[in-house]
Amino acid sequence: MILRILCFLLFAVPAVCQSPVQRKIWYTTSGGDAGIFSLASVEMNGREVRPILRFSPVFNFGSNLNWNYADFGGLYLGWNIRNIGMITRDSVNQEDKFKRRIYMLGVPFGLKFGDMKRDRFVYFGGEVGYPFHYKEKFFPDGDRDRKIRKREWFSERVETFTSAVFAGIHFNERFSIKAQYFLNNFFNQDYVTTDEQGNTIRPYANYAANLFFVTFNYDFSVKRIWDRKKEPRKTGAL
């Protein structure tokens, strides 16, 4: 169903640039996410936790190496740094509010199918990531004046590596939209710490959360490495 919708958008929306161009064979793109809208599927101690839509507009950028092996297809490999996370109300009465996020280094690999000449295509693939900074804000009873923060580099509270699948649509040379789903749990369920009384606890042992986000991408740099050569014009004998 998602693929059908993407294909409909791809061919129903007119391209911004219609001038005839040659297919780029090898090229790089560098850009950022205009904004990431994220939610999560969350369960805690066997009960479903209500997530809140999270928007992160800044510090999301990356670069890709692209290879268009034909007019109708290509693939790419890249890297990115993203600010992703979730907002939840964890308590039974849904009063305690948590904002949690990670900065993550991701390595995506994707396949592309469509019109490579005009950069109008659908794409999908997978990504592995490495979270390197964790931040948490806790608002007891939802009170914004009682904010408790945690910041940790290379935190053990979250999984060491992430894995995700994604699919998207590229409208023209610059603009695309993508949806991504994380296969792994956001939290490290084996994480061990101590409470205020010095007791050993595992706060995420029964906490499962899988992130999902939609993002709008803009490539501010497109650098051609190799284009398809022009075919020599055939002329008849005089």
pLDDT in tens, the chain (238 residues): 544 544 444 444 444 344 456 788 999 999 988 889 999 999 988 888 888 999 988 779 999 999 999 999 999 999 999 999 999 988 766 678 899 999 999 999 999 999 999 999 999 999 999 999 999 998 886 666 678 899 999 999 999 999 999 999 999 888 999 999 999 999 999 999 988 788 899 989 999 999 999 999 998 888 988 776 554 555 554 4
Domain membership of residue 15 (yes or no) is no
CATH of the domain at 128: 2.40.160
1 to 5, 6, 8, 41, 124: CA distances (angstroms): 6, 9, 11, 20, 14
| Count: domains in the chain | 1
Residues 185 and 222: beta-carbon distance below 8 Å = no
- Please spell the DSSP secondary structure of 85-134, one letter per residue: EEEEE-STTS--EEEEEEEEEEEEEEEEEEETTTTEEEEEEEEEEEEEEE
Domain membership of residue 117 (yes or no) is yes
Residues 187 and 162: beta-carbon distance below 8 Å = no
Domain membership of residue 147 (yes or no) is yes
Dist. CA 79–CA 133, nearest whole Å: 17
Domain membership of residue 14 (yes or no) is no
The domain containing residue 34 runs over which residues?
A: 24-222
**What pLDDT sits at residue 50?**
82
**What pLDDT sits at residue 225?**
87
What letter would DSSP give residue 13? Answer: S
**What pLDDT sits at residue 144?**
67
Domain membership of residue 238 (yes or no) is no
Dist. CA 76–CA 214, nearest whole Å: 20
**What pLDDT sits at residue 202?**
92
218: amino acid identity, one letter: Y
Dist. CA 74–CA 70, nearest whole Å: 7
- The structure tokens listed for 21 are 């161009």
pTM of this structure: 0.82
**What pLDDT sits at residue 18?**
42
**What pLDDT sits at residue 4?**
53
**What pLDDT sits at residue 6?**
45
Domain membership of residue 4 (yes or no) is no
Domain membership of residue 197 (yes or no) is yes
Residues 139 and 104: beta-carbon distance below 8 Å = no
3 state DSSP class of 81: strand
